[in-house]
Structure 1
Amino acid sequence: MTPEMFDSVEAYNATHPTSPFPAEPRARNVLRGYRAAMQGVTDDVTGTGSGASLTVDFLPGGAPWPDEADRVGTVVASRWGEGPVFVLAEGVSLRAAWEAVREAWPTHLSAVRSALETVDRIDAGKA
């Protein structure tokens, strides 16, 4: 199944106001996300045929650091903070999602999605 796609960060934000991508590109670039050792994750899922290099971001605010409180949010993939934006998981613990992806150390988007399948959705109001 192809992930939900938005043509731009603005289109994604309009539909996901509780897990926004920062509007300012510089703010997007400093989010703690997964970049496969700065090489990017190869797109082998979206059907664009591009094989593009993508980053995986944990919204809102990036993947929590160990000393930060966990958040419930959305995991997305994009072309280094630019559209299109692909939704990979919604309503998940961002810490659990980060740990699952980091442990798998995927280089392809299909492997990111497989890692995220191990993360349970959280009902609103919990966590």
Structure 2
Amino acid sequence: MRSSPRGFESPSRYNAAYPDCVLPAEPLRLRGYRAALQGVEDDVTGAAGSMTVEFLPGGAPGPGQPDRLGTVVATHWGQGPVLVLAERVSLRAAWESIVQRWPARLSEVRAALELTCHDRVNP
């Protein structure tokens, strides 16, 4: 069984640890994954409430935008905890891997990331 991803109790603690991939104060303005605006069920840590998947820094690259390396995290709609799912990965590849599968659960998001970013996905 896989362990829980690395977590931070608040966005400010996450931002201190990842100053190059900060979670902004208003992450809902980022291009992130929200599972048809319902959020992703946290079946990994067991925390109540739905989560969003954010691609940092700056959100997932849109069509015509350059790709960049970054961090993929899950949050409770921009609030803590912040779970680090993958680090130093292509944000475009991570986005495409997730939206090709339209996962509804956090474990499915992690599985999609493993297919694309297997060497940089956090256990």
SS of residue in 1 equivalent to 2:38: coil
1:4 aligns with 2:3: no
CA distance in 2, matches of 1:16, 1:118: 24
Aligned-CA RMSD value: 1.2
> Under a length normalisation based on structure 1, what TM-score does the superposition of the two structures give?
0.88
SS of residue in 2 equivalent to 1:117: helix
1:67 aligns with 2:69: no
C-alpha deviations, 1:22-69, integer Å up to 9, x for none? 1x23xx1110000000000000002xx334200000000000001100
> Under a length normalisation based on structure 2, what TM-score does the superposition of the two structures give?
0.91
Q: Which residue of 2 aligns with 1:93?
A: 90
CA distance in 2, matches of 1:17, 1:104: 30
CA distance in 2, matches of 1:64, 1:21: 15
Instruction: Map 1:13-52 to 2 at 5 A.
Output: 13-22=15-24, 24-25=25-26, 28-46=27-45, 49-52=46-49
Q: Which residue of 2 aligns with 1:104?
A: 101
Q: Is the 8 A contact 1:92 1:119 kept in 2?
A: no
CA distance in 2, matches of 1:77, 1:113: 10
Spell out structure 1 runs of 4+ moving beyond 3 A.
Answer: none
CA distance in 2, matches of 1:55, 1:20: 15
Aligned sequence identity (%):
57
- Report how many aligned residue pairs link the two structures: 117
Q: Is the 8 A contact 1:44 1:51 kept in 2?
A: no
SS of residue in 1 equivalent to 2:116: coil
Deviation, structure 1 residue 119: 1.9
CA distance in 2, matches of 1:11, 1:37: 28
Q: Which residue of 2 aligns with 1:125?
A: none
Deviation, structure 1 residue 118: 1.4
C-alpha deviations, 1:45-95, integer Å up to 9, x for none? 02xx33420000000000000110001000000000111100000010000
